[in-house]
């Protein structure tokens, strides 16, 4: 029987025995079943992201294109395996050996293998005595293939000079790149191990005498490389500082306070922002905040009007890291004193203290949680001047110092993390240009454009992660300069209620604020 079968939607669940001539092409299909060639010939083709899960027995041929994959479920034998560059054959799981007469294809693909070091005897690996996957190809066409190790692989006991054999091929027929680094992912550690590919000529006197034996060895391998279990603790701490270091201002907190000059008031606001960062400590996330407060006015004869108040806020959000996820939540109390003068000058002083809690999960399955007490002190000065009856400009300067106390904790996998204390000092120079509306007289309102130049003089975090005898220190330096621009409005209603809203984003920042929406309501009485 000879013909083509194409199916892009169904999954075939049969075990097929072929005793004639058969050609089957899977085009964007998934096949679960086994190929058993009793006699005659059979050719299986996988293309356009096709997936075959099963084993092969006999002399059938298999062609795998650059987008397709074969998950081998038990020891298999083939006539010819044509594996194109990008194609994958995985022996992960119960399969241990794959034997073929010829290894071919266009460019050479990837073999995913469970490899376990158990001495330096190639016959033990080749005969399946070591529980380590092994490839045998008597012929080839000179392609170069790649080996990827699964998470279940183990190289415990390997020292310089150890050899973990994984393939035997005909002399100079198929090539695994000599000196190519192969990484072993260590899901329970903070470092991945690296080995290199070598080959030697078989001299065992067996049927494979003169063939090429391929093995992994530590000799000449690069040093261990830090993995997500080691980098995520530092990234999560840097994210916590980014969230705590909130460049708040009087305008964002209370709106245009001059519109609501009664003796005392209560207020509330909602914040919704998105932060993104590239590079070593990359993260992105949406964070929301709710703050409520109360203040009372004190009138002085020569020093303007002071507003003394307190507030409590809560922030929460989820973060995505380059190799993991996390979440943060923080609760803090603030105390502030704001001085407004008839000349347009103002001063705003704020002190804030609270705690931010963080959790993260790495793509290597480790988990960590920690908490940081923090404080922030801010001093802002500005002056509002009317340019004419309708337009005003307000120049501003501000310094904000933020501090986080580090935490010590142990991850789920047993790595110990120590955080140094972290701080940040952000300077700001800015202005607000407003179109003022005074009619009706008891309902002043405005729309405005604002811009600020920001610079962080101190920002940075340091985390040390220790895993047994290995350690890694992650540092984040963020002495950055950036620009913030925004639009907003302030509206006073006749019943002493004031609504305020603004939106802003950053440009040129290391830690980018893609958007920040700030909406508030103050009721004076």
| Domains of the chain and CATH, by start | 74-226 (no CATH), 234-524 (2.40.128.130)
Angle (nearest 5°) at CA 168 between 164 and 174: 115
Question: What integer pLDDT is reported at residue 441 of this predicted model?
Answer: 66
3-class SS at 203? coil
pLDDT in tens, 423-439: 999 999 999 999 988 77
Burial of 68 (0-12, 13-18, 19+ CB in 10 A): buried
Rounded Cα gap, residues 263 and 193, in angstroms? 67
Question: What integer pLDDT is reported at residue 152 of this predicted model?
Answer: 85
Rounded Cα gap, residues 218 and 117, in angstroms? 12
Inter-CA distances, 42 with 35, 87, 193, 301, 382, Å: 9, 20, 41, 100, 83
- pLDDT-derived band at 259 (thresholds 50, 70, 90) equals confident
Residue 150 tokens read as 């699964």
Residue 233: count of CB within 10 angstroms of its CB: 29
Give the phi and the psi of residue 307 in degrees, each rounded to 5.
-120, 115
Reply yes or no on whether the pLDDT at 3 is more than 60: no
Question: What integer pLDDT is reported at residue 391 of this predicted model?
Answer: 94
Residue 270 tokens read as 């909602």
Find the helix or strand (DSSP H, E) in which 77 lies: strand 76-83
Sign of the CA dihedral with 441 first, then 442, 443, and 447 last: positive
How many residues would you count in the chain?
A: 525
Give the pLDDT mean for 274-278. 95
Sequence-distant (6+) residues with CB within 8 A of 445 are 259, 437, 489, 490, 491, 492
Give the pLDDT mean for 506-521. 95
In terms of DSSP bridges, do strands 88-90 and 391-404 run parallel, antiparallel, or are they unpaired? unpaired
Reply yes or no on whether the pLDDT at 8 is more than 90: no
Reply yes or no on whether the pLDDT at 328 is more than 60: yes
Give the phi and the psi of residue 297 in degrees, each rounded to 5.
-90, 140
Rounded Cα gap, residues 482 and 507, in angstroms? 6
% of the chain surpassing 90 pLDDT: 67
Inter-CA distances, 134 with 90, 123, 187, 411, 497, Å: 11, 11, 23, 36, 77
- pLDDT-derived band at 449 (thresholds 50, 70, 90) equals very high
Rounded Cα gap, residues 424 and 464, in angstroms? 20
Question: What integer pLDDT is reported at residue 16 of this predicted model?
Answer: 57
Residue 214: count of CB within 10 angstroms of its CB: 25
Reply yes or no on whether the pLDDT at 284 is more than 50: yes
Question: What integer pLDDT is reported at residue 82 of this predicted model?
Answer: 95
Give the phi and the psi of residue 398 in degrees, each rounded to 5.
-155, 145
Rounded Cα gap, residues 46 and 6, in angstroms? 10
3-class SS at 178? coil
What counts of helices (H) and strands (E) characterise the chain?
3, 38
Q: Which residue has the higher pLDDT, 44 or 441?
A: 44
Specify the range with the lowest mean pLDDT, choosing from 47-51, 184-188, 215-219: 184-188
Reply yes or no on whether the pLDDT at 4 is more than 70: no
pLDDT in tens, 146-205: 998 888 888 878 888 899 999 999 998 878 877 777 878 888 889 888 888 999 999 888
Give yes or no for a contact between 26 and 63, defined as CB atoms under 8 angstroms apart.
no
Question: What integer pLDDT is reported at residue 375 of this predicted model?
Answer: 98
Give the pLDDT mean for 491-501. 88
pLDDT in tens, 74-122: 999 999 999 999 999 999 999 999 999 999 988 889 999 999 999 999 9
% of the chain surpassing 70 pLDDT: 95
Rounded Cα gap, residues 385 and 329, in angstroms? 39
Beta strands in 3-109 (DSSP E): 11-12, 16-18, 21-27, 30-32, 35-37, 41-47, 51-54, 56-57, 61-64, 69-72, 76-83, 88-90, 97-104
Residue 330 tokens read as 């923080």
Average pLDDT, the chain: 90
Question: What integer pLDDT is reported at residue 191 of this predicted model?
Answer: 87
pLDDT in tens, 17-40: 545 678 889 999 999 999 988 877
Residue 365: count of CB within 10 angstroms of its CB: 14
Rounded Cα gap, residues 217 and 289, in angstroms? 53
């Amino acid at each position: 029987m000879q013909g083509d079968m194409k199916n892009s939607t169904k999954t075939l669940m049969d075990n097929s025995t072929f005793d004639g001539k058969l050609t089957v092409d899977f085009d964007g299909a998934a096949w679960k079943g086994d190929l058993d060639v009793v006699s005659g010939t059979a050719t299986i083709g996988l293309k356009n992201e096709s997936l075959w899960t099963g084993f092969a027995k006999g002399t059938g041929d298999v062609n795998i294109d650059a987008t397709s994959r074969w998950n081998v479920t038990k020891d298999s034998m083939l006539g010819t395996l044509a594996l194109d560059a990008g194609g994958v054959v995985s022996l992960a799981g119960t399969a241990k050996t794959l034997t073929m007469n010829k290894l071919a294809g266009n460019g050479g693909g990837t073999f995913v293998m469970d490899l376990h070091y158990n001495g330096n005897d190639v016959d033990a690996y080749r005969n399946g005595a070591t529980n380590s996957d092994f490839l045998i190809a008597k012929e080839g066409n000179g392609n170069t293939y790649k080996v990827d190790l699964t998470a279940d692989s183990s190289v415990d006991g390997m020292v310089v000079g150890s050899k973990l054999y994984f393939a035997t091929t005909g002399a100079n027929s198929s090539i695994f790149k000599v000196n190519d680094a192969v990484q072993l992912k260590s899901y329970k550690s903070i470092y991945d191990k690296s080995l290199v590919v070598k080959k030697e000529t078989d001299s065992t006197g067996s049927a494979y005498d003169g063939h090429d034996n391929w093995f992994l060895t530590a000799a000449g391998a690069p040093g261990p490389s830090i993995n997500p279990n080691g980098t995520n603790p530092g990234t999560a701490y840097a994210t916590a500082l980014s969230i705590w270091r909130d460049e708040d201002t009087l305008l964002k907190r209370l709106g245009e306070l001059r519109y609501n000059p009664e003796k005392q008031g209560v207020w509330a606001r909602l914040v919704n922002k998105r932060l993104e960062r590239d590079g070593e400590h990359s993260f992105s996330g949406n964070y929301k905040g709710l703050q409520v407060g109360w203040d009372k006015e004190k009138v002085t004869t020569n020093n303007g009007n002071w507003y003394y108040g307190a507030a409590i806020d809560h922030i929460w959000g989820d973060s995505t890291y380059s190799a993991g996820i996390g979440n943060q939540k923080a609760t803090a109390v603030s105390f502030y004193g704001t001085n407004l003068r008839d000349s347009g000058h103002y001063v705003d002083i704020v002190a804030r203290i609270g705690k931010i809690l963080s959790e993260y999960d790495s793509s290597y399955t480790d988990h960590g949680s920690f908490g940081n007490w923090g404080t922030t002190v801010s001093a802002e000065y500005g002056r509002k001047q009317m340019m004419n009856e309708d337009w005003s400009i307000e120049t501003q300067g501000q310094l904000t110092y933020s501090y986080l106390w580090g935490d010590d904790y142990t991850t789920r996998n047993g790595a110990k993390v120590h955080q140094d204390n972290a701080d940040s000092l952000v300077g700001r120079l800015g202005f607000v240009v407003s179109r003022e509306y005074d009619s009706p007289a008891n309902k002043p309102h405005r729309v405005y454009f604002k811009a600020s130049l920001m610079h962080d003089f101190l920002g940075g975090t340091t985390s040390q992660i220790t895993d047994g005898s290995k350690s890694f220190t992650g540092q984040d330096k963020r002495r950055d300069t950036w620009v913030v621009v925004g639009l907003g409005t302030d509206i006073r209603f006749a019943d002493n209620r004031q609504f305020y809203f603004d939106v802003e984003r950053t440009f040129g920042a290391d830690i980018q604020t893609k958007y920040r929406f700030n909406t508030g309501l103050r009721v004076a009485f």
